[in-house]
Amino acid sequence: MNKNITSIRGMNDCFTPDIKFWQKIENKCKQILTNYGFSEIRTPIIEQTSLFSRAIGKVTDVVKKEMYTFNDRSGNSLTLRPENTTGCVRSGIEHGFLYKKRQQRLWYLGPMFRYDRPQKGRYRQFYQLGAEVFGFIGPDIDAELINITARLFRELGIIKYISLEINSIGSLSSREKYCRVLMDFLHQYENELDQDSLHQLLANPLRILDTKNPKIQEILIDAPLLADYIDSESKYHFINLCKLLDATNIKYRINHRLVRGLDYYNRTVFEWITDILGAQNTVCAGGRYDNLVEQLGGKATPAIGFAIGIDRMVLLIKQINPYFIDEYNIVDVYLITSGKVSRQSMLVLAEIIRDHLPYFTIITHYGGGNLKKQLSHADKYQAKIVLILGENEYKSGEITIKDLRTGKQEKITQQNIIVRLNELLC
Ligand code: ATP
Ligand code: MG
């Protein structure tokens, strides 16, 4: 039997009308980031596997279970990027741009790949809009990044439906100290831990704080607090960040259990969460990673970034406001012919109109059919205006204009067409 070829599980096609949600969100993100002085960076979607294992941490879920890794024809191990902070750092070190200008503000947008369990809001190819800044020790830049995300969510009309959680996970060394204390504490409960947590206990104990398992959450109530172990500089950094957020009227909740899934973070971490999307409740996550540039072979450079999950943003906005996109009247002018008028004359006319009215959407009818059929196509497109070039009009240098919004029809000379369309459409 001839079985149709389908897309890969967890990887989606996106087309109209959904694509309009994507475009509007992406355009808003780009506009705001540009206004804050950020510039775009595009890096390849495939990198050497060692880049991710070195940066993200060999024992993290992402590197252990979620990467799309394969050998190319020369036997090099390559990986489809599971995130793009690492790619930006690799590029910055390779081209030296992290150091040429002492400070950099960058953004990127593109697909990421993780062999996750596909479900609503969790896919194997998903999209992140990210920002990364280098060379600032903060906490002013931390506050600016959070303000950018807040501004974006305000302008997209979703700020009421999401909330900000922040935490400091301290320096790497203070975190290691805390992990030992946490491990000692959790060892008492070894019998009560699930498989995942037992595994994490050995590999990456901090991640247990993030558990969704209610039984373990209960055990954690009495666990030592990370906040009591973090170094004084990180504490001071965090207190000042809170002051800056207060001064800019950003509402937040300090969540002492908030950690990040990747190893390279330190000090500030933050997440925007929602209770509308079920288990996939984080729409944006970020944090500081002051050691990553050096860890990947560059000169020590402080850094912080965030990534917004665009797929989840689209789901959220569609649920909150289905009228977010204006589906109607996207076609301004629909051109049709009747009688024996040649396709060529209509094409020529359409191009002349486009020369003069470049901001209007103009569609030309192809495929023939009688006037009624062509008009019904114009209706389907919800065109505002139909231009009819009939045999008589063609001979006399005229054209018929029908305004589908009012039903009014008029005949004018072709020379006046630009002026008249402008009057009708502006
Ligand atoms: P989660 O705990 O949901 O798996 P994560 O900690 O793995 O998230 P990050 O690496 O911090 O996620 O990625 C930043 C954002 O990218 C997430 O907050 C989410 O919005 C989005 N994201 C991550 N993984 C996926 C996925 N598989 N499908 C869709 N969006 C995703
Ligand atoms: Mg994940």
Q: Which segment of 43-52, 258-267, 320-329 scores lowest on mean pLDDT?
A: 320-329
Domains of the chain: residue spans and CATH: 18-171+230-320 (3.30.930.10), 333-425 (3.40.50.800)
**Closest listed ligand to the CA of 114:** 1
Contacts of 58 (CB under 8 A, 6+ apart): 64
Please provide the DSSP assignment of 322-351 as one string: GGGS--S----EEEEE-TT--HHHHHHHHH
Atom of ligand 1 nearest to the CA of 62: 7
- Quote the ligand 1 centre to 127 CA distance (angstroms): 9
Tally the residues of the chain: 426
Cα(178) to ligand 2 centroid in Å equals 23
Q: Cα dist. 406→384, 386, 403, 410 in Å?
A: 9, 12, 6, 12
Q: Which atom of ligand 1 is least distant from the CA of 260?
A: 6
Q: Given ligand 1 and candidates 124, 128, 271, which is best to mutate, with the most ligand atoms within 8 Å of its CB? A: 128
Distance 47 CA to ligand 2 centre (A): 19
Q: Which residue would you say has higher pLDDT here, 395 or 71? A: 71
Alpha-carbon dihedral sign for residues 153, 158, 160, 166: negative
Say whether pLDDT at 316 is over 80.
yes
**Gap from CA of 198 to ligand 1 centroid (Å):** 23
pLDDT the model gives residue 416: 93
Per-residue tokens: 27: 């355009």
What pLDDT score was predicted for residue 204? 75
Q: Quick one: pLDDT band at residue 196, thresholds 50, 70, 90?
A: confident
- Among the bound ligands, the one closest to the CA of 119: 1
Which of 76, 29, 47, 80 lies closest to 309 in space, CA to CA? 29
Instruction: Give the model's pLDDT for residue 328.
Output: 56
* 139-189 confidence digits (pLDDT tens): 999 999 999 999 999 999 999 999 999 999 999 889 888 988 988 888 888
288 is in an annotated binding site: no
Report the alpha-carbon distance of residue 117 to residue 175 in Å, rounded. 30
d(CA 168, CA 270): 9
